[in-house]
Amino acid sequence: MVAQVPEVVLASGSPRRRELLTLLGVEFRVQVSGEDEDSDETDPHALAAELAALKGRSVAALNPDSLVIAADTVVAVDGVLLAKPADAAGNADFLRQLSGRTHGVFTGVSVFIGGKERTEVARTDVTFRSLNNAEIEYYSQSGEGLDKAGGYGVQGLGQALVSRIEGEFSNVVGFPMSVVIGLLREHGIPVWGAVNQEAAPA
């Protein structure tokens, strides 16, 4: 008898996370958490884990029979956390801080099912080119970075800001595929249509 696969609920409104989960062939629906994401945590690794769990916990409470997956991305440069810029001027300030330097991108991924939860955090180090004022002004005025941690989107125009990536590219997008695939398979969710998870490559 084949075990019933639980419904998957993505507790995120991010179009990038929806796209990546769709690419894995996973059927899911979106239910965005309305939880306040404020935190006093200053360690980026711990903060990414805390915010991912916070996003997923309230959605999981409403969907006890589903597998809820949530994620949150945090950017830090030399110990300074860069959230989402409030406006173009703030975005430009972020880019000046990142210009010519290496920063860390941390994404926490939390999974909830059957009253249990598990969270993992992926880290990728990203190095920016030295940006001139014209480049900073052009990108900040594009609006692309306003809804993104760190103030840039590596999958769009923001890829032109980057000179080197050490780690998983999809983590910089906000959904580390290696972590997501591992957590889904661990809970019996087919990835890329694989029915026999024991036969699927690790």
| Spatial separation of the C-alpha atoms in residues 128 and 138, rounded to whole Å | 16
Nearest to 75 by CA among 139, 154, 137, 13: 154
| Spatial separation of the C-alpha atoms in residues 72 and 107, rounded to whole Å | 6
| Spatial separation of the C-alpha atoms in residues 2 and 70, rounded to whole Å | 27
Nearest to 114 by CA among 6, 3, 189: 6
| Spatial separation of the C-alpha atoms in residues 143 and 88, rounded to whole Å | 7
Q: Which of 40, 72, 93, 125 is catalytic?
A: 72
Let me know: does 174 contact 155? Beta carbons within 8 Å: no
Residue type, 97: Q
* Sign of the alpha-carbon torsion through 72, 112, 45, 106: negative
Clarify whether 72 is annotated catalytic: yes
Using only C-alpha atoms, the chain has a radius of gyration, in whole angstroms, of 18
> Phi/psi at 140 (nearest 5 deg)?
-65, -30
Which pairing describes strands 8-10 and 29-30: parallel, antiparallel, or unpaired?
parallel
Q: Which residues are catalytic?
A: 72
